[in-house]
């Protein structure tokens, strides 16, 4: 064998050994997880939105970043107490088959009270769960309880304010850590904005790398809980239920630092996003409703499933949005991704907590077709709009002016008609690549004032309008836009009849206008 061949063979051998070592490190045999979630609880419990989806997300993170093999990760969604007991037996068998000193990870999300977990219409007592976990043949046990009782936009979790598990050191035979999502006299919360419970959202974000304080590529139990605790408290300070303080009970004497995930390890199937710019970021995968909120000092990295992501950052004078493609086992840099300024209304409709509402003003000019033989009119208006995630509401105030010349054939004098109007429109908007389109229903009041050339007095009448309306808007950066709109209002007018008396008639018309606007 010549020297070149020997070097090639040695390099290949080193590569194989390196890959085998990485695969072995990722697999981490001896890890078993039981993930339980129920959106529905007892009859008096309001249905949750995110408990079961949180469980799915956690299971993916554990299997791809935490070394929990899929056949050792038991996920129960919307199941019964009997199913949980059977799963605990399966977990015990898997632990007994596991080599070395196995780790057990148990997670629950759903309703609860001071006595137990509300698993569907049944309850599993905390005493039974604790005893079952301690009886399983694991060297280390991590139990996470995120129990909730639903409310409106921010749902209250944990029907009654329950004390966390009280575990004395002598009760943990080898090592036990119990993490609770709230304090012993508090209610935990979940949020529609982030599409998750606050605590589980930040726990997952931490496990995906945001909690890796020492930048060693591993996330330990302490790093994950500290990150989730701090971020949960910060996020709930202004919520309806008040601040939420996650708590823990810990007895892991003799254990090394317990690593839960390795987001920096190659071969996981996840990609990595380097938040290499300081800021407050909202990360959303294309097509997903949920959003990840990350405060970065410029050195954070988070592991993400492959796909296209939109990263929005709120700066003092503007809002920037970047699109980043995340590829499996590859790193992407936020600083290197092209970004654009985005109109505030678009960001509100995307959700994600950047801001709950956007406000705008627009000046418009246009034309209106003939109404009740008064002639076509020029129109001008000012429109004030509020954009919310689900709908937009626009108040339009303005005036029309029409003039009919005198007619010698029928002996009619010239007449000028002024119409002052105010209307409110409810709109549903859709943001396309370059423009925003919206459609909805507009209703309002109008006051017509007619003045004849041969008469110094004016006749006035009141009416109502209702009809469909639509607009197209071209954003020019985050604050300005050009727009055009159209409407087909029906005018309900009281008109005097030739035989005497008044009747209400419906008069159809059309309106088009265009102008410019500004967002606040």
Q: What is the 3-state secondary structure (H, E, C) of 416-473?
A: EEEEEEEEEEEEEEEECCCCEEEEEEEEEEEEEEEEECCCCCEEEEEEEEEEEEEEEE
Half-sphere exposure of 385 (CA within 13 A, CB side): 30
**Which of 12-16, 143-147, 338-342 has the lowest average pLDDT?**
12-16
What's the mean pLDDT in 136-156?
A: 64
Tell me the H-state helices in 237-361.
344-350
**Higher-scoring residue by pLDDT: 146, 249:** 146
27: pLDDT confidence band, cut at 50, 70 and 90? very low
- Integer CA distances (angstroms), 311 to 37, 194, 350, 432, in order: 29, 14, 12, 18
pTM of the model: 0.66
Q: Is 328 helix (H, G, I), strand (E, B) or coil?
A: coil
Strand partners, 73: 33
**Which of 2-11, 128-137, 221-230 has the lowest average pLDDT?**
2-11
**Higher-scoring residue by pLDDT: 298, 202:** 202
8 Å CB contact between 309 and 321:
no
What's the mean pLDDT in 238-246?
A: 75
What's the mean pLDDT in 296-322?
A: 83
Strand partners, 360: 385, 519
- Candidate ranges 250-259, 297-306, 379-388; pick with highest mean pLDDT: 379-388
368: pLDDT confidence band, cut at 50, 70 and 90? very high
What's the mean pLDDT in 418-424?
A: 95
Summary mean pLDDT of the chain = 81
State pLDDT tens for residues 160-215: 333 343 434 443 335 888 888 876 666 667 787 778 888 999 999 999 999 988 88
Residues 6+ apart with CB under 8 A from 86: none
pLDDT above 60 for 243 = yes
Say how many C-beta atoms besides its own lie within 10 A of residue 508's C-beta: 12
Residues 187, 289: Cα–Cα separation, whole Å: 25
**Which of 221-235, 326-340, 452-466 has the lowest average pLDDT?**
452-466
- pLDDT at position 515 is 97
Residues 218, 210: Cα–Cα separation, whole Å: 10
What's the mean pLDDT in 247-251?
A: 76
């Amino acid at each position: 064998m010549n020297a070149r061949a020997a070097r090639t063979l040695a390099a290949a051998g080193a590569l194989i050994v390196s890959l085998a070592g990485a695969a072995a490190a990722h697999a981490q045999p001896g890890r078993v997880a039981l993930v339980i979630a129920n959106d529905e609880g007892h009859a008096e419990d309001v249905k949750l939105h995110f408990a079961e989806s949180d469980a799915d997300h956690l299971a993916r993170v554990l299997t791809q970043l935490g070394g929990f093999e899929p056949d050792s990760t038991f996920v129960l969604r919307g199941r019964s107490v009997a199913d949980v007991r059977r799963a605990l037996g399966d977990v015990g068998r898997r632990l007994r088959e596991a080599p070395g000193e196995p780790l057990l990870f148990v997670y629950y999300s759903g309703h609860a009270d001071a006595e137990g977990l509300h698993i569907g219409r049944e309850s599993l007592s905390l005493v039974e769960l604790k005893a079952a976990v301690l009886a399983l043949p694991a060297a280390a046990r991590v139990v996470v309880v995120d129990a909730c009782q639903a409310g409106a936009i921010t749902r209250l979790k944990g029907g009654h304010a329950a004390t966390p598990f009280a575990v004395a050191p002598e009760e943990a035979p080898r090592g036990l850590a119990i993490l609770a999502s709230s304090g012993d006299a508090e209610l935990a919360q979940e949020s529609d904005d982030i599409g998750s419970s606050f605590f589980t959202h930040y726990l997952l974000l931490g496990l995906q790398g945001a909690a890796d304080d020492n930048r060693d590529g591993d996330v330990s139990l302490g790093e994950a809980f500290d990150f989730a605790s701090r971020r949960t408290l910060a996020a709930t300070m202004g919520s309806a239920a008040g601040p939420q303080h996650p708590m823990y009970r810990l007895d892991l004497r003799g254990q090394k630092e317990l690593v839960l995930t390795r987001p920096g390890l190659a071969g996981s199937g996840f990609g990595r996003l380097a938040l290499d710019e300081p800021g407050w970021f909202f990360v959303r995968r294309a097509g997903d409703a949920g959003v990840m909120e990350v405060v970065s000092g410029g050195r954070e990295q988070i592991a993400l499933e492959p796909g296209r992501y939109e990263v929005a950052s709120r700066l003092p004078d503007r809002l920037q949005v970047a699109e980043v493609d995340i590829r499996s086992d590859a790193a992407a840099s936020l600083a290197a991704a092209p970004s654009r300024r985005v109109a505030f209304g678009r960001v509100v409709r995307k959700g994600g907590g950047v801001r709950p509402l956007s406000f705008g003003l627009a000046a418009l000019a246009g034309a209106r077709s003939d109404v009740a033989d008064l002639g076509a009119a020029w129109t001008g208006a000012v429109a004030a709009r509020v954009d919310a995630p689900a709908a937009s509401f626009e108040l339009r105030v303005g005036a029309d002016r029409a003039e009919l010349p005198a007619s010698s054939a029928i002996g009619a004098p010239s007449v000028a008609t002024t119409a002052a109007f105010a209307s409110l429109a409810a709109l549903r908007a859709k943001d396309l690549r370059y423009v925003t389109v919206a459609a909805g229903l507009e209703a309002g009041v109008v006051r017509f004032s007619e003045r004849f050339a041969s008469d110094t007095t004016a006749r006035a009448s009141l009416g109502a309008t209702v009809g469909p309306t639509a607009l197209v808007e071209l954003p020019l950066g985050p604050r300005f836009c050009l727009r055009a709109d159209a409407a087909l209002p029906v005018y309900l007018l009281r008109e005097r009849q030739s035989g005497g008396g008044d009747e209400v008639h419906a008069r159809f018309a059309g309106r088009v206008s265009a102008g410019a606007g500004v967002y606040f």
